[in-house]
């Protein structure tokens, strides 16, 4: 699976992305996150991209629908990546969420975790 969810931290969810996402990846991801949102209310996401190559067209649509459906459910989003286009992705996604969005280089992963958990 190209999407892995870790909800062991009570302050935020860690979502790890790798490879290229396809629509089927969202069949597990969406219900899992929706269950967590139902239990916790508004959530924070730490998005870790490692060897991540983006989305195919169908996955892009699933991601867009998820973002619009959960526009108010995510209040902070830290994106940790390895490539310049991933930084651009952080800028691109801002209109699709009310969350405060920040990009961190993989070398700043500890700073991202501190920021996502801070008040």
Task: Tell me which of 67 and 93 has the higher pLDDT.
Answer: 67
Q: How confident is the model at residue 95 (pLDDT cuts 50, 70, 90)?
A: low
The pLDDT of residue 64: 86
Q: pTM surpassing 0.85?
A: yes
106-117: per-residue pLDDT in tens? 999 999 999 999
56-84: per-residue pLDDT in tens? 999 888 988 888 888 899 999 999 998 77
Which is the CATH superfamily of the domain at 3-117? SpoIIaa-like domains (3.40.50.10600)
Asked if residue 5 lies in contact with residue 13, where contact means CB atoms within 8 angstroms, the answer is yes
The pLDDT of residue 86: 66
E-assigned strand segments in 22-73: 43-55
How many residues are given for the chain? 119
Asked if residue 2 lies in contact with residue 17, where contact means CB atoms within 8 angstroms, the answer is yes
Mean pLDDT score of the chain, rounded to an integer?
89
| Token digits of residue 91 | 């800028």
User: What are the φ and ψ backbone dihedral angles of 80, each rounded to 5 degrees?
Assistant: -110, 120
Q: Region 17-30: what's the mean pLDDT? A: 93
SS3 29: helix
């Amino acid at each position: 699976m190209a999407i892995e969810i870790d909800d062991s931290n009570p302050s935020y969810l860690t979502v790890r992305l790798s490879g290229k996402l396809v629509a089927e990846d969202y069949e597990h991801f969406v219900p899992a996150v929706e269950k967590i949102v139902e239990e916790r209310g508004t959530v924070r996401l730490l998005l870790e991209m490692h060897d991540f190559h983006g989305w195919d067209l169908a996955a892009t649509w699933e991601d867009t629908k998820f973002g619009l459906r959960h526009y108010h459910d995510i209040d902070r989003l830290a994106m940790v990546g390895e490539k310049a286009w991933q930084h651009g992705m952080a800028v691109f996604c801002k209109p699709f969420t009310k969350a405060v969005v920040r990009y961190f280089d993989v070398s700043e992963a500890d700073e991202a975790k501190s920021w996502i958990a801070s008040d």
